Amino acid sequence: MTGCVALVVCVATLTACIVAAGASELSITTIKQDPYTMSRGSELEGYCIDLISELSKKLGFTYKLHLVKDNRYGVKDSSGNWNGMIGEITRGDADLAVAPLTLTAIREQSVDMTTPFMQTGIGFMLRRDLASEESSFSLLSPFSTDMWVGVLIAFLLTGLCIFLVGRISPTEWAEPDTEEHSFTLLHSFWYITGALTLQGAGPHPKAPSGRLVSAIWWLFAVLLLASYFGNFNSVMHTNKHVIKSFEDLANQDLIDYGTFEAGSTMLFFKNSNNPIYRRIYENMERKKSYVANMEEGIRRAQEGNFAFIGEAVSLDLAVARYCKLYRSQEVIAMRAYTIAAPLGSPLVKNLSIAILQLSESGELTYLRNKWWASSCVGADRAQTSEALHPHDLLGLFLLLGLGLGVGLLLALLELVSRAHNQAKDGKKSCCSVLTSELNQRFCNKGESAEQDGSDKSKA
């Protein structure tokens, strides 16, 4: 009940102030910056537009928005005059400035500022692979998990195919009753393992079908190893320069970094007594690695070997839209965005209370999620390196599958041809001869015959 009475008093006070000033609506200045204020046709939209709309509903005032003429936030010149939105407030050209306006001591001396509607700090962003964690399993990094699973399946299928071709092909195993089978299941896998290590593991296939499968597997192994070692070199080179903090940034010279020239972020590093931050400022001054605007900072960060230093909320927006970028977890020099009003303005108290109410009701969080929504949904954001995926080598896997299929088909054709000739000579049914051949090659009889033959030879 007390809260309701306080809100009524605030609304009444604000209304009285507006009437006393003889104005029907407040003049509000803002500045174009994505996603705070953006153009949509002839209208404006964004976080700040929604914020001032919610505040007007709570406090019951009308307003008229306009963009600041010089497109500046507000800096004091040598003569003590302000430009930008702060200048419009001090000159009386605007009643409020609603924008991502940083609360600073020097601004607080010239204008009144409300309770912050957003907290932020200084961070940096760079390409995601430059901020990757070093892995204890870096030998596996060149291939993704799906890729390793695909290689394992290809290995198992090829070993099984070599085994089947060796069993089926009459050229490979002419007399199942008297000859030992060279390509056992164990030897088949050992044979293709030798191909993966670029070593031979005899005996080698004699049949055309076995040689085809063997050749296709050797080609697959050579191209797979070439892809692995090529990407392995890239991953190892990347992981040598992992950047996770400002200290990491200051202690290396391979990656450049910069921020807006003459901005509040640059002034923080310039005036800091921290040796790490001073070193960062001196490096930016020496290399003149400043950027003119946010777009240039994003572009250079995407190109690689550059870290853009700026306010965390702006970097979060870039990361939400450009999936290859990463924002550092370390945030320093916490600061806040507020609404500015003329000195002594009674609007400030009422606006501060309304902002706190919006925060407590979760409305500010809703607006943050609305305008900072990520467009990288479904992207593999956790991937820290450019690991190869199965679709990257899809043609190679298809070639292997085709080779295995053709090899098995050739082996079957060899066996069918032999069965046909035997059936013709013995005046038997081709199907019965073929069935008998398959039984000899795959059933226990063939194995027992091999065992009996080996026992007799030992005796």
CA angle at 260 for the pair 255 and 261, rounded to the nearest 5°? 105
Residue in 151, 148, 124, 133 with CA at minimum distance from that of residue 383:
133
Instruction: Look at residues 319, 345, 264 and name the one whose alpha carbon lies nearest to residue 101.
Output: 264
Assigned token pair, 212: 């085809």
435 among the known binding-site residues?
no
DSSP state of 138: G
102 is in an annotated binding site: yes
Residues ≥6 apart with Cβ < 8 Å to 399 = 216, 219, 220
Q: Using alpha carbons only, what angle is made at residue 72 by residues 70 and 77, rounded to the nearest 5 degrees?
A: 95
From residue 382, alpha-carbon distances to 177, 324, 377, 378 in Å are 57, 11, 12, 11
Give the three-state DSSP class for 396: helix
Annotated binding-site residue? 311 = yes
Give the separation between CA 169 and CA 414, rounded to whole angstroms. Answer: 6
Q: Give the largest Cα separation in the chain, rounded.
A: 122
142: annotated binding-site residue?
A: no
Q: Which residue spans within 228-293 are E strands per DSSP?
A: 256-258
Residue 107 among known ligand-binding residues: yes
CB of 403 closer than 8 Å to CB of 162: no
Whole-angstrom Cα distance, residue 16 to residue 81? Answer: 31
Rounded CA-CA distance 238/325 in Å is: 15
Nearest Cα neighbor of 220 from 125, 165, 297, 155 is: 155
Please name which of 144, 166, 151 lies closest in space to residue 220, comparing C-alpha atoms: 151
Cβ atoms within 10 Å of 103's Cβ, excluding its own:
16
Reported as type and span, the H/E element at residue 316 is helix 312-321
Name residues whose C-beta falls within 8 Å of residue 33's C-beta, 6 or more positions apart in sequence. Answer: 99, 100
Residue set of the binding site: 100, 102, 107, 264-265, 311
Residue set of the binding site for L-glutamate: 100, 102, 107, 264-265, 311
